[in-house]
Structure 1
Amino acid sequence: MENNTRHYFGIIHIGTVNMAMKIISFTSLDDMEVIENVSQEVEYGEEVFKTHHVSFQSLNEICRILTGFRQLLKDYDVTDVRVITTTAIREADNMLNALDQIYVRTGFTVEVVHMAKEIYYKFFGLYYHVLKGKFNFASQAVLLIDITSGGMGLTCWQNDELLFQENVYLGSLRILENFTKKQRQHLSFPTAVREFIHGNLAPLWANVQAHQIQYVVLSGKSAVLLGRLMHMEPQNGVTLIRPRDFIQFVQSFHGLTPIKLVQNCGLSEGLANVIMPTIMLYYELFRTIDVDMIVLMRTTFTEGYSMHYIAETTNAPYREHQHALLLGLARTIASRYLYDPAHSARVESYSATLFKAMQKLGGMSERAGYLLRLAAILHETGKFINMRKHRVCSYELIRRTDLFGLTDEEKEVVACVAAYVNMSATTDLSADIVERRLEPEIELLVSKLQAIFSLADALDKSHTGKITAIRAELQEEELIVHYERRLDISLERWMFAKVSVNFEEVFGVTPKLVKGQV
Structure 2
Amino acid sequence: MPDQEISTKHIAAVIDIGTIAIRMVIAEVGNKNEIRYLEQLQKPVRFGKDVFKTGRLSNAAMRQGVNILRDFKSVIDGYGIKRVHAIATSAVREAQNRDNFIDQIYVRTGIEVEILEGAEENRLELVAVENALDEKINLEKKNCLIVEVGSGSTEMILMEQGQVSVTRTLTIGSVRLPEQGLAAKGDEDFIQRVLKKSIRDITKNVAREVSMERIDTFIALGGDMRFVSQQLLPDTVDRFTVLEKKEFVGFVSRIGKMTPEEIATQYSLDYGHAESLYPALLFYLNFLNETKAEEIIIPKLSIRDGLLLEIAQLVSGYRRTDVARQVLNSTHHLGAKYMYDKAHAVCVASLALKLYDLLAKDHGMGSRERLLLEVSGILHDIGIYVSPSGHHKHSFYLVDAADIFGLRRTDKNIVANVVRYHRRVPPRETHVPYMSLAKSDRAIVSKLASILRVADALDTAHQQKIRSFTLERSEDAYALWVPKDIGDISLERESLRRKGDMFADVFGAPIDLKQGVSPVD
TM-score by length of 1: 0.89
Residue 371 of structure 1 deviates from its aligned partner by 0.5
Counterpart pick for 2:147 among 145, 148, 152: 145
Q: Which has the higher contact order (CA 8 A, sep 6+)?
A: 2
Counterpart pick for 1:119 among 115, 118, 122: 122
Query: How many residues of Structure 1 are paired with residues of Structure 2 in the alignment?
Result: 508
Q: Which residues of 2 match residues 378-397 of structure 1 at below 5 A?
A: 378-397=379-398
2-structure distance, mates of 1:11, 1:24: 9
Q: 1:462 aligned to 2:461?
A: yes
2-structure distance, mates of 1:177, 1:227: 27
2-structure distance, mates of 1:230, 1:27: 32
Deviates more, 1:160-169 or 1:12-21: 160-169
1-structure distance, mates of 2:277, 2:289: 18
1-structure distance, mates of 2:92, 2:44: 16
1-structure distance, mates of 2:262, 2:476: 73
Over residues 229-255 of structure 1, what are the superposed CA-to-partner deviations in whole Å (9 max), with x where a residue is unaligned? 334532411111111221122223453
Mapped contact 2:199–2:283 kept (Cα < 8 A): yes
**Corresponding residue of 2:513:** 513
Residue 303 of structure 1 deviates from its aligned partner by 1.4
Residue 78 of structure 1 deviates from its aligned partner by 1.6
2-structure distance, mates of 1:243, 1:470: 56
3-state DSSP of counterpart to 1:179: helix
Q: Which amino acid aligns with 1:489?
A: I
Deviates more, 1:243-252 or 1:393-402: 243-252
Compared CA separation, residues 209 and 232, structure 1 to 2 (3 A): farther
**Amino-acid identity (%):** 25
**Corresponding residue of 1:491:** 491
3-state DSSP of counterpart to 1:291: coil
2-structure distance, mates of 1:255, 1:22: 34
Residue 401 of structure 1 deviates from its aligned partner by 0.8
Mapped contact 1:423–1:436 kept (Cα < 8 A): no
**Corresponding residue of 2:374:** 373
Counterpart pick for 1:78 among 78, 81, 91: 81
Compared CA separation, residues 318 and 287, structure 1 to 2 (3 A): closer
**Corresponding residue of 1:15:** 18
Compared CA separation, residues 16 and 426, structure 1 to 2 (3 A): closer
3-state DSSP of counterpart to 1:82: strand
Mapped contact 1:144–1:216 kept (Cα < 8 A): yes
Deviates more, 1:248-257 or 1:95-104: 248-257
Residue 474 of structure 1 deviates from its aligned partner by 6.2
**Corresponding residue of 2:421:** 420
2-structure distance, mates of 1:162, 1:337: 17
Mapped contact 1:458–1:495 kept (Cα < 8 A): yes
Mapped contact 2:87–2:114 kept (Cα < 8 A): yes
Compared CA separation, residues 229 and 184, structure 1 to 2 (3 A): farther
Q: Which residues of 2 match residues 228-247 of structure 1 at below 5 A?
A: 228-247=230-249
**Corresponding residue of 1:60:** 63
Residue 386 of structure 1 deviates from its aligned partner by 2.6
Residue 347 of structure 1 deviates from its aligned partner by 0.5
Compared CA separation, residues 297 and 184, structure 1 to 2 (3 A): farther
Compared CA separation, residues 296 and 145, structure 1 to 2 (3 A): same
Over residues 32-64 of structure 1, what are the superposed CA-to-partner deviations in whole Å (9 max), with x where a residue is unaligned? 333332222223332232222111111111111
Compared CA separation, residues 450 and 229, structure 1 to 2 (3 A): same
Mapped contact 1:191–1:255 kept (Cα < 8 A): no
Deviates more, 1:342-351 or 1:168-177: 168-177
Q: Which amino acid aligns with 2:446?
A: S
Mapped contact 1:12–1:21 kept (Cα < 8 A): yes
2-structure distance, mates of 1:380, 1:469: 21
Residue 209 of structure 1 deviates from its aligned partner by 4.6
**Corresponding residue of 2:3:** none
Q: 1:225 aligned to 2:218?
A: no
Compared CA separation, residues 514 and 201, structure 1 to 2 (3 A): same
**Corresponding residue of 1:133:** 135
Counterpart pick for 1:45 among 38, 48, 59: 48
Mapped contact 1:89–1:95 kept (Cα < 8 A): yes
Over residues 287-326 of structure 1, what are the superposed CA-to-partner deviations in whole Å (9 max), with x where a residue is unaligned? 343312211101211111232344356554546x221122
Q: Which amino acid aligns with 1:156?
A: L
**Corresponding residue of 1:155:** 157
Q: Which residues of 2 match residues 268-287 of structure 1 at below 5 A?
A: 268-287=270-289
Deviates more, 1:75-84 or 1:445-454: 75-84
2-structure distance, mates of 1:89, 1:474: 50
Q: Which amino acid aligns with 1:505?
A: D
3-state DSSP of counterpart to 1:172: coil
RMSD of aligned alpha carbons: 2.8
Over residues 360-400 of structure 1, what are the superposed CA-to-partner deviations in whole Å (9 max), with x where a residue is unaligned? 43221101000011111111111112322211111111111
Q: Which amino acid aligns with 1:437?
A: S
Residue 26 of structure 1 deviates from its aligned partner by 2.8
Mapped contact 2:216–2:291 kept (Cα < 8 A): no
Q: Which amino acid aligns with 2:313?
A: A
Compared CA separation, residues 342 and 261, structure 1 to 2 (3 A): same
**Corresponding residue of 2:355:** 354
Over residues 243-287 of structure 1, what are the superposed CA-to-partner deviations in whole Å (9 max), with x where a residue is unaligned? 122112222345355344224433211111232211010122233
Residue 420 of structure 1 deviates from its aligned partner by 0.6
Instruction: Structure 1: state its 5+ residue gaps.
Output: none
1-structure distance, mates of 2:70, 2:318: 33
Mapped contact 1:119–1:301 kept (Cα < 8 A): no
1-structure distance, mates of 2:234, 2:270: 21
Over residues 429-458 of structure 1, what are the superposed CA-to-partner deviations in whole Å (9 max), with x where a residue is unaligned? x4xx66652111111111111111111111
Compared CA separation, residues 312 and 226, structure 1 to 2 (3 A): same
Residue 79 of structure 1 deviates from its aligned partner by 2.1
Residue 487 of structure 1 deviates from its aligned partner by 3.4
Deviates more, 1:331-340 or 1:406-415: 331-340
TM-score by length of 2: 0.89
Residue 344 of structure 1 deviates from its aligned partner by 0.5
Compared CA separation, residues 343 and 64, structure 1 to 2 (3 A): same
Q: Which amino acid aligns with 1:395?
A: F
Compared CA separation, residues 314 and 355, structure 1 to 2 (3 A): farther
Counterpart pick for 1:307 among 309, 312, 321: 309
Residue 206 of structure 1 deviates from its aligned partner by 4.0
Deviates more, 1:448-457 or 1:76-85: 76-85
